[in-house]
RNA sequence: UCCGGGUUGGGGUAGUGGUUAUCCUUCAGCCUUGUGGAGGCUGAGACGCGGGUUCGAUUCUCGCACCCGGACCCA
């Protein structure tokens, strides 16, 4: 026996069916919005990450030198790849560019609940619109996708913020405040005591009074108060933009899932405007389910024309945790339309029936294991066959086959030449 | 990298310093090549690895590996 590599997963049929069902909803919803599917390489140049994040990032990459000496890596995220793709065809792609893709990514990380080394994400991105409607469309897609999976507003919420609000408020203090340290403190505020939180803020350069005041302001999430408190262009613009996005989300049907949460500070460095994270409302999944937001500087950073961008990338692992805890994880039930049972040497006739039924698009199985009558029925039962077609020597001697309804156990004889005949999906009820 | 918990047939478990390691389930076959869901019978299948203590270790002990949580991290 060989071990499975840590952090990688096998999907047995039942699990694969659930994964497939999840992907179908996410992508099907994206298709309704006009997002077009793209395909991307599993391997990219490692420089796409080391240039931006430094060489330490290599520790978290599945990177290696290929046979021609290129330093490459299994891709840990999609964003640099789409950025590269947008830059490469910037002139010929009509805007807004709306792309979707579901695929695995790889990161060499510590494995934990909801986090693997090979993980699947559905990335949904819009390039070329800085309008609030673009941000709102991302929120709306996410909301539609989650409700399409069977979740409701009881199960999830989007905590929405704006990158410039926290920074802008901190900037407005006269004192010399270490903005980054303060934002890190906000990020941790959930996990530490109030006193510790305030201490961290004070270390970042706020006075004790300011720390308390800042805490209240941010915790309340009241945009009017924020605006009144920090009357700077940056904060005013951020607040207005956030309001516009929420107003559009209202019309798009996603507002009810959104909560203004100015503490939502964490996330990728490249976010520039509205940011949001999806959380389990019940708090059972403590980690954020996924995050998204606006990253207007990224394309330019990859050598393209300045191009606004906004996107979201739900990871399927945390999503499945949420779906399971909400009790809406798609459970596969094997469904088989027909089992064609053979007794004696009836293969030619049985095979003809099987092929005709399959041609009509039905799911059809027959004996390929040389089993006895009882064992075949047993098997037909185990695969939830709706109808069993018994092709036995005795039946054929009368030019008949037996049609058995597995749920009721009722059965009837029909002329073998009339089966399946012209009926699209002949069952016991049609033939009795 | 760190912290906590764990490891007995495919899955779930009981148990023990000493004879053939318990039970449930699963799987295969049979009872029953012409009637499944119930039942019965038969069979397959396990003490993570290595060292130590011991006459003897699956059991005690140490180390390691692996698994599950969590911290850090999360581009």
Nucleotide nearest to A286 (CA to C1'): B70
Start and end residues for every CATH 3.30.930.10 domain found in chain A: 13-40+75-172+230-325
In the 83-112 stretch of chain A, whose C-beta falls under 7 Å of nucleic acid strand B? Answer: 107, 109-112
In the 341-370 stretch of chain A, whose C-beta falls under 7 Å of nucleic acid strand B? Answer: 343-344, 369
Q: Nearest 5°: phi and psi at A275?
A: -130, 150
Q: What is the per-residue pLDDT for A260?
A: 93
* Strand B lies under 7 A from the Cβ of residue A10: no
| Distance, CA of A210 to chain centre | 40
Q: What is the per-residue pLDDT for A99?
A: 97
Q: What is the mean pLDDT of the segment spanning A166-182?
A: 80
Sequence-distant (6+) residues with CB within 8 A of A224 are none
Q: How far apart (Å, rounded) are the C-alpha atoms in residues A287 and A71?
A: 33
Integer CA distances (angstroms), A350 to A337, A354, A355, A358, A397, in order = 15, 6, 9, 12, 14
The CA radius of gyration of chain A, in Å to the nearest whole number, is 29
Q: How far apart (Å, rounded) are the C-alpha atoms in residues A293 and A272?
A: 8
Distance of A61 CA from B51 C1′ (whole Å): 37
Nucleotide nearest to A79 (CA to C1'): B75
Q: How far apart (Å, rounded) are the C-alpha atoms in residues A172 and A109?
A: 38
Q: Which chain B positions have some atom within 7 A of a protein CB?
A: 1-2, 27, 29-37, 66-75
pLDDT at A7 over 90: no
* Strand B lies under 7 A from the Cβ of residue A413: no
CB A142 within 8 A of CB A121: no
Beta bridge partners of A99: A36, A125
CATH class of A13-40+75-172+230-325: alpha beta
Distance of A166 CA from B6 C1′ (whole Å): 44
Long-range CB contacts (within 8 A, 24+) of A226-235: A226/A165, A226/A169, A226/A262, A229/A169, A229/A172, A230/A168, A230/A169, A230/A171, A230/A172, A231/A172, A232/A168, A232/A171, A232/A172, A234/A164, A234/A167, A234/A168, A234/A171, A235/A164, A235/A165, A235/A168, A235/A169, A235/A172
Distance of A307 CA from B4 C1′ (whole Å): 48
* Strand B lies under 7 A from the Cβ of residue A339: no
* Strand B lies under 7 A from the Cβ of residue A392: yes
Query: Annotated binding residues of A for L-histidine, as ranges?
Result: 77-79, 107, 121, 125, 266, 270-271
Q: What is the pLDDT of residues A31-88, one digit of tens each?
A: 999 999 999 999 999 999 888 777 777 778 998 899 999 999 999 999 999 999 999 9
Distance of A406 CA from B42 C1′ (whole Å): 29
pLDDT at A174 over 90: no
Q: What is the per-residue pLDDT for A177?
A: 81
pLDDT at A359 over 70: yes
Q: How far apart (Å, rounded) are the C-alpha atoms in residues A159 and A150?
A: 20
Confidence category of residue A1, pLDDT binned at 50, 70, 90: low
Q: What is the mean pLDDT of the segment spanning A20-32?
A: 96
pLDDT at A312 over 90: yes
Query: How long, in residues, is chain A?
Result: 432
* Strand B lies under 7 A from the Cβ of residue A374: yes
Mean pLDDT of chain A: 89
Nucleotide nearest to A53 (CA to C1'): B75
Q: Which residue is nearest to nucleotide B32 (CA to C1')?
A: A374
Lowest model confidence (mean pLDDT) among A98-102, A164-168, A310-314: A164-168
Nucleotide nearest to A411 (CA to C1'): B35
- Secondary structure (3-state) at A97: strand
Q: What is the per-residue pLDDT for A10?
A: 84
Q: What is the pLDDT of residues A252-274, one digit of tens each?
A: 999 999 999 888 766 567 888 99
Q: What is the per-residue pLDDT for A300?
A: 92
Distance of A3 CA from B15 C1′ (whole Å): 29
pLDDT at A302 over 70: yes
C-alpha atoms less than 13 angstroms from C-alpha of A406 in its C-beta half-sphere: 22
Q: What is the mean pLDDT of the segment spanning A114-118?
A: 89
pLDDT at A124 over 90: yes
pLDDT at A165 over 70: yes
Distance of A112 CA from B61 C1′ (whole Å): 31
Sequence-distant (6+) residues with CB within 8 A of A48 are A80, A81, A84
* Strand B lies under 7 A from the Cβ of residue A422: no
Sequence-distant (6+) residues with CB within 8 A of A315 are A114, A119, A120, A121, A289, A290
Q: What is the mean pLDDT of the segment spanning A91-108?
A: 94
Paired tokens of A257: 């899932």
Q: How far apart (Å, rounded) are the C-alpha atoms in residues A293 and A276?
A: 6
Integer CA distances (angstroms), A55 to A47, A59, A71, A419, in order = 9, 8, 12, 68
Q: What is the mean pLDDT of the segment spanning A98-106?
A: 96
Percent of the residues in chain A that have a pLDDT greater than 70, as a whole number: 98
Start and end residues for every CATH 3.40.50.800 domain found in chain A: 336-431
- Secondary structure (3-state) at A366: strand
Alpha helices in A273-397 (DSSP H): 298-301, 316-325, 347-359, 373-382, 393-397
pLDDT at A335 over 90: no
Confidence category of residue A431, pLDDT binned at 50, 70, 90: confident
pLDDT at A188 over 70: yes
Higher-pLDDT residue of A348 and A329 is A348
Lowest model confidence (mean pLDDT) among A4-8, A41-45, A331-335: A331-335
Q: How far apart (Å, rounded) are the C-alpha atoms in residues A136 and A300?
A: 23
Q: What is the mean pLDDT of the segment spanning A320-329?
A: 87
Q: What is the per-residue pLDDT for A407?
A: 87
Query: Annotated binding residues of A, as ranges?
Result: 77-79, 107, 121, 125, 266, 270-271
- Domain A336-431 architecture: 3-Layer(aba) Sandwich (3.40)
């Amino acid at each position: 026996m060989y071990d499975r590599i840590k952090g990688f997963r096998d999907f047995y049929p039942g699990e694969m069916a659930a994964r497939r069902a999840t992907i179908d909803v996410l992508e099907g919803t994206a298709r309704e919005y006009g997002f077009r599917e793209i395909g991307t390489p599993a391997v990219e140049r490692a420089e796409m990450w080391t240039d931006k994040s430094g060489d330490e990032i290599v520790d978290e990459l599945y990177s290696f030198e290929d046979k021609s000496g290129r330093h490459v890596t299994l891709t840990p995220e999609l964003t640099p790849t789409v950025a590269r793709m947008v830059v490469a065809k910037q002139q010929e792609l009509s805007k807004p560019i709306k792309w979707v893709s579901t695929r695995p990514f790889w990161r060499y990380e510590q494995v934990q609940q909801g986090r693997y080394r090979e993980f699947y994400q559905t990335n949904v991105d819009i390039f070329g619109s800085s309008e609030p409607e673009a941000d709102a469309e991302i929120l709306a897609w996410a909301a539609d996708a989650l409700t399409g999976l069977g979740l409701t507003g009881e199960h999830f919420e989007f905590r929405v913020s704006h990158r410039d609000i926290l920074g802008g408020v901190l900037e407005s203090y006269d004192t010399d405040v270490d903005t980054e340290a303060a934002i890190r403190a906000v990020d941790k505020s959930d996990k530490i005591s109030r006193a510790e939180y305030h201490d961290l803020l004070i270390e970042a350069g706020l006075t004790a009074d300011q720390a308390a005041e800042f805490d209240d302001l941010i915790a309340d999430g009241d945009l009017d108060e924020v605006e009144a408190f920090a009357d700077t262009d940056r904060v005013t613009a951020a607040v207005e933009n956030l309001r516009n996005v929420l107003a559009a989300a209202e019309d798009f049907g996603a507002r009810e899932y959104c909560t203004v949460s100015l503490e939502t500070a964490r996330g990728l460095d490249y976010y520039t405007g509205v940011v949001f994270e999806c959380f389990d409302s019940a708090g059972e999944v403590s980690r954020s389910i996924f995050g998204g937001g606006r990253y207007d500087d990224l394309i330019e950073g990859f050598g393209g024309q300045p191009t606004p961008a906004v996107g979201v990338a739900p990871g399927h692992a945390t999503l499945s945790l949420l779906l399971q805890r909400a009790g809406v994880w798609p459970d596969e039930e094997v469904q088989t339309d027909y089992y064609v049972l053979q007794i004696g040497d009836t293969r030619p006739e049985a095979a003809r029936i099987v092929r005709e039924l399959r041609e009509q698009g039905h799911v059809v199985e027959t004996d390929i294991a040389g089993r006895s009558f009882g064992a075949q029925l047993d098997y037909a039962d185990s695969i939830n066959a709706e109808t069993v077609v018994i092709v036995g020597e005795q039946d054929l001697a009368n030019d008949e086959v037996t049609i058995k309804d597995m749920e009721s156990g009722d059965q009837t004889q029909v002329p073998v030449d009339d089966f399946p005949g012209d009926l699209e999906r002949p069952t016991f009820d049609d033939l009795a």
